[in-house]
């Protein structure tokens, strides 16, 4: 699989995970309950902000195509940025904090 295709898949996976946690309720309202339980603390704010949240899954996926620290940072921030652009393009209603 080409590194370009892997980057696209990383960006899409980042969007999916961040959107699921920040916007959706999840099966049996499990994500909604987790956000409610996190409340007004740091974790609660993180779970409410798509843009903040997108940094975490992209950091987990970036090592899949990175060969060094500089490349890791570029892929990490690039995948998060691509997910943020996708969120805006779809009009999915990302919350910001």
User: Per-block average pLDDT, block size 10, for the chain (97 residues)?
Assistant: 88 93 82 78 72 92 91 95 92 56
Q: What is the pTM of this model?
A: 0.80
Read off the tokens for 2.
């080409």
Q: Domain spans of the chain?
A: 3-90
| pLDDT attached to residue 40 | 75
């Amino acid at each position: 699989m080409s590194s370009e295709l892997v980057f696209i898949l990383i960006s899409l996976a980042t969007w999916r995970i961040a959107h699921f946690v920040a916007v959706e309720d999840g099966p049996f309202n499990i994500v909604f309950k987790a956000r409610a339980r996190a409340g007004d603390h740091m974790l609660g704010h993180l779970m409410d902000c798509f843009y903040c949240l997108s940094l975490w899954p992209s950091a987990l996926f970036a090592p899949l195509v990175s060969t060094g620290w500089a490349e890791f940072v570029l892929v990490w921030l690039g995948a998060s940025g691509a997910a943020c652009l996708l969120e805006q393009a779809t009009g999915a209603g990302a919350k910001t904090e």
